[in-house]
Structure 1
Amino acid sequence: MRLTLRKSTPPPPGPDTLGPVKVDTRTKALTKRLQPGDVAVIDHVDIDRVAADALVAARPAAVLNAARSVSGRYPNLGPEILVEAGIVLVDDLGPGIMAVPDGSVLRLEGGAVLLGDDVVAEGVVQTPATVARSLEEARANLSVEIESFAENTMDYLRRERDLLLDGVGVPDISTPIEGKQVLIVVRGYHYREDLATLRPYITEYRPVLIGVDGGADAIIDAGWKPDMIVGDMDSVSDRALSSGAEIVVHAYRDGKAPGLERVRELGVDPVVFPATGTSEDIAMLLADDKGAEVIVAVGTHATLVEFLDKGRAGMASTFLTRLRVGGKLVDAKGVSRLYRQRISNLQLALLSLAGLFAVVMALWSTSAGQTFFGLVGARVDDFTSWVGALFSGG
C-alpha cells in the first residue's frame, strides 16, 4: 500500500494519499486540532479506550504511533477500537516519526514511512488479526499487572492516609454542597450518552455540577453551566474557565500547579488543592468532605479493566477514593436505569380525571349535591330547549 504525503505542494487527493500530518506527543491535545482525513502522529504506549474514542471521533485517515500500541503489559482496548473503525494504524515507528513537520505528506510502503524518497521510520501495520494476537498475549501478563496495581494502591494509601481517612488537606470552597446532590463529569467513557440520559434527573434535582477539566466543556455543550471546575487545567477551554464557575486547581503534593498561571491570566482567583492521584479523585473527595448527599459520576473509571486501561499507576488512587466515598457514589448508568420522572403528562391528566370523578361521586351521595345536580340539569334542559327553538325559527 502506497500513501503519499509531501510538505511542499501536495499531490491531488487520491486513494493512495494521506495528509496533512498532525504531530503531538500528547494524544489528548492532538485530537483537538485533528480534521477529518488528517494523519495523526502520536507517541502513545498502550493506547487506551478514551484516546481511541477521541481519535475515532476526529476521523483521521491514519494513526502513526512512535510507541507500541499494545506493549503486552495488559490487554488495552484502544488499538482494537481504531482498527475496527477502519483507521490505518502503524505501530512502533520509533522517535524519528515525531520529527516529521506538521503539514507534511508521507508515503507508506508496508511498514516503512517515507518523506519524499527518504525512509523516516519503520514499524508494523496493525490489522484486526495482529491486534487480537497481541491482546491474547497481553492477557497472559494480566496477573502481574494486577499485582503491580495492588502495590501501587498500598503505596498511595501510605502517602495519602490522612487525606483519605480524615480529609486533612481538603481546601475551603465557596460553592455550597452540604446536603445536596453532586454530579461529577469527566470526559471519559460514554460521557455524552450518559449526560443525555441524565437530562431529566438534572432538570428535576438541580445537582451541583462539577466538571473535571474537559468535563466542564461537556457540561456547557450539553446546555448547562458548571458550578465548579476541578483539574490541572490542561484540557479545559478558556470559555469554561471564564464561565463564572469556582475553579479548583489540582496541584502536586509539593505545591507546584502547572495550571495555576493559566487560570490567573484569565483574571480568575482559584482554590489550590495539593494531592496525588487523579483530578477525578480530588473532585470526589472534595464533594464528600463538603457534605454531598449523593455523588453521581459521569465518564469516570469504575472497573478494574478501566483502571488498568488508563495506563498509569495513579489509577490506584481512584480505587481507594471509591472505597472512601462509599455508598454516596452512584455511576451515571445506574441513575439512568433507576431514575424515572415521577409522573408523566398522561399520568397527570388521568389522575386529574380520577380526582374530578371522585368529587362528583362524593357530591352525588349527599342531598345537597343531588339538589345541585338537579338545578344544573334543569338549567341544561332550559338551554337545550332555547337552542332548539333558535335553530327551528321559533
Structure 2
Amino acid sequence: MALRLTREPTRDPDLPGIHGPVRADRRTKDLTKRLQPGDIAVIDHQDIDRVSGEALVACGPAAVVNAAESTSRRYPNAGPTAIVEAGIPLLDVQHDGLVATLKDGVRGRLDEDTFVVGDLEITGVRHTEESLAADMSTAREGLGEQLEAFAANTMEYMTKERELLFDGVGIPDVRTELADRHALVVVRGYHYKDDLAALRHYIREYKPVLIGVDGGADALMEAGLSPDMIVGDMDSVSDAALTSGAEVVVHAYRDGRAPGVPRVEALGVEPVVFSAAGTSEDIAMLLADDLGATLIVAVGTHATLVEFLDKGRAGMSSTFLTRLRVGSKLIDAKGVSRLYRSRISPLEIIGLLLVCLGALLVALWATPTGQALLQLVGARWDDLWALVEGMVT
C-alpha cells in the first residue's frame, strides 16, 4: 500500500515521545552507513540478525522502527535483543511501503507503540526484553524444523558443488600469491574489531595475506591494514577499498551473472570473476585453501550452528560444508580478544621499572667500581644543573 505524507511534521517539543530526524532504507547495512546518533532508524528487515542489530546499536539511533517482523520466531535470531538491551526502543509496524515513502531528515516521533510522521500515525508492537525472551523461547521450541531445512540445504549444496568442494573445479587464477603463506580472512561479523586488534602481533610477525570479504576490506583499512584481496558481490564495500590496489574477486552466481562487475569496472579496476553457490566468505576460504595457504585464520565469520541460523539464509549450509572441506587449516579467531586480556596495568609497569632501577643503584653502590661510576654521574649532573642555573640567571 502506497503512503503519502500530506504535511511536514510539527516540531512541538511538548508532544510526548521520542523526537528525531528519520533515516529510512530497506537494506539495514546501507542505512548504517549514514545513520547518525539521535536519528530514528526505519528499516524493513524481517528477523534481524545479530550483526545487523549490533551495527544499528553502534550508530546510536534514538529508536528503531521496523516495517517487518523483527523476529518471526522461526529461529532464535539475536538482533532484536541486542537493540533492546542497548536501551534503544524497537517498534514493529509491519507496514508495506513505509520505507519508500519517508525522506531522509523528515521529523518523526515515537510515542510508546505509535510512530508518527506528519499526518501518518502507525501503531505497532513495542518490544521489551521480557517479550523478546518469550519470543526466543518459542523459537527454540520450533528449532527442529529449521534444523531439518538446514540439513536439506546442506545436501543440496553438496550435490551442486561437489566438484568445487572436493576437486577445486572452477577456482579462478589470481595474481595474489598464497602458496606456503598464512591467509587472514576478515568478515564484518561478530567481534571482528576486537579480534583484529588482538591479532596485531600475529599479523606483524607472520605477515599473512589479508583477504577482506566485502565490508571486511573496510574493516582491515579501519584497523590500519591494507587488504591484499577483496572477495564478494561488492554490495557493501567502499570505493576506497576497491581502488586501494587490492586484487578484486567478484562473487558471481552459478549462471554467470555478476552484479558487482559493472561497479568495479566503472572504478577502473579489472576484477576476477568466481562463479559459485554459497556465500562470499565460503569462496574466500576455498580460494585460500586451493591456492596453497598453509593456514587460514578467520575473523568475524560464522562458526556455530546458531550463527548459521541467525544469518537467516538457506545458503549458510554452504559455510558448514566449506569448513569441513578446509579442515585443519582453519583457525577461527572468534573470541580471541576475550580469551586473553592483559592484567598488567601501566601503573604496575612503572612501579616495576622503579624497583629495577632501585635494585641497580644498590648493586652499583655495593662495589668500589660502582661507587666511582655513581660519583662520576653525580658530578656530571651537578655540572649540568649549574649550567642550567647560569642560563636562567
Report the TM range for the smaller structure's normalisation: 0.7 to 0.9
Partner of 2:65: 64
Partner of 2:75: 74
**Structure 2 counterpart of 1:18, one-letter code:** H
Partner of 2:3: none
Q: How far apart are residue 72 of structure 1 and its match? A: 1.0
**Structure 2 counterpart of 1:242, one-letter code:** T
Q: How far apart are residue 7 of structure 1 and its match? A: 3.7
- Counterparts of 1:159-308 in structure 2, within 5 Å, are 159-308=160-309
* Aligned positions, number: 342
CA contact (8 A) 1:37 1:60 kept: yes
Structure 1 residues 165 and 90, CA gap change in structure 2 (3 angstroms)? same
Whether 2:102 is the aligned partner of 1:100: answer: yes
Q: How far apart are residue 17 of structure 1 and its match? A: 3.8
Post-superposition Cα deviations, 1:136-192, rounded to whole Å, max 9, x if no partner, equal 111111111111100011111111111111111010000000010000000110000
Partner of 2:133: 132
Q: Distance in 1 between matches of 2:331 and 2:313?
A: 24
Deviates more, 1:106-115 or 1:255-264: 106-115
Partner of 1:114: 116
Q: Structure 2: 5+ residue runs without aligned partners?
A: 1-6, 343-348, 350-368, 377-393
Q: Distance in 2 between matches of 1:243 and 1:29?
A: 21
CA contact (8 A) 1:7 1:103 kept: no
CA contact (8 A) 1:297 1:331 kept: yes
**Structure 2 counterpart of 1:106, one-letter code:** G
Q: How far apart are residue 94 of structure 1 and its match? A: 1.9
Q: How far apart are residue 225 of structure 1 and its match? A: 0.6
Q: Distance in 1 between matches of 2:225 and 2:258?
A: 28
**Structure 2 counterpart of 1:253, one-letter code:** R
Structure 1 residues 225 and 113, CA gap change in structure 2 (3 angstroms)? same
Q: How far apart are residue 129 of structure 1 and its match? A: 1.1
Post-superposition Cα deviations, 1:305-328, rounded to whole Å, max 9, x if no partner, equal 000000110100100000000000
**The structure with more radius of gyration:** 1
Structure 1 residues 225 and 107, CA gap change in structure 2 (3 angstroms)? closer
Q: Distance in 2 between matches of 1:76 and 1:270?
A: 35
Partner of 2:324: 323
CA contact (8 A) 2:190 2:334 kept: no
Structure 1 residues 102 and 290, CA gap change in structure 2 (3 angstroms)? same
Instruction: Give SS of 1:272's match.
Output: strand
Instruction: Give SS of 1:316's match.
Output: helix
CA contact (8 A) 1:278 1:314 kept: yes
Structure 1 residues 333 and 65, CA gap change in structure 2 (3 angstroms)? closer
CA contact (8 A) 1:26 1:43 kept: yes
Instruction: Give SS of 1:165's match.
Output: helix
Instruction: Give SS of 2:20's match.
Output: coil
Q: Distance in 2 between matches of 1:15 and 1:325?
A: 56
Instruction: Give SS of 1:40's match.
Output: strand
Could you tell me the TM-score, scaled by structure 2's length? 0.82
Residue identity over aligned pairs, in percent, reads 63
Q: Distance in 1 between matches of 2:316 and 2:20?
A: 35
Post-superposition Cα deviations, 1:339-358, rounded to whole Å, max 9, x if no partner, equal x9xxxxx9xxxxxxxxxxxx
Instruction: Give SS of 1:319's match.
Output: helix
CA contact (8 A) 1:287 1:295 kept: yes
Post-superposition Cα deviations, 1:85-131, rounded to whole Å, max 9, x if no partner, equal 01110014321422233222233444332333432x33101111111
Structure 1 residues 333 and 79, CA gap change in structure 2 (3 angstroms)? closer
**Structure 2 counterpart of 1:22, one-letter code:** R
Instruction: Give SS of 1:19's match.
Output: strand
CA contact (8 A) 1:65 1:91 kept: yes
CA contact (8 A) 1:42 1:65 kept: yes
Deviates more, 1:126-135 or 1:12-21: 12-21
Instruction: Give SS of 2:106's match.
Output: coil
Structure 1 residues 26 and 281, CA gap change in structure 2 (3 angstroms)? same
Instruction: Give SS of 1:261's match.
Output: helix
Post-superposition Cα deviations, 1:45-78, rounded to whole Å, max 9, x if no partner, equal 1111000000000000111111111101101101
Q: Distance in 1 between matches of 2:336 and 2:103?
A: 47
CA contact (8 A) 1:234 1:259 kept: yes
**Structure 2 counterpart of 1:292, one-letter code:** A
Structure 1 residues 240 and 118, CA gap change in structure 2 (3 angstroms)? closer
Could you tell me the TM-score, scaled by structure 1's length? 0.82
Q: How far apart are residue 284 of structure 1 and its match? A: 0.2
CA contact (8 A) 1:47 1:76 kept: yes
CA contact (8 A) 1:18 1:62 kept: no
Structure 1 residues 117 and 266, CA gap change in structure 2 (3 angstroms)? closer
Structure 1 residues 101 and 295, CA gap change in structure 2 (3 angstroms)? same
**Structure 1 counterpart of 2:269, one-letter code:** V
**Structure 2 counterpart of 1:56, one-letter code:** V
Q: How far apart are residue 42 of structure 1 and its match? A: 0.6
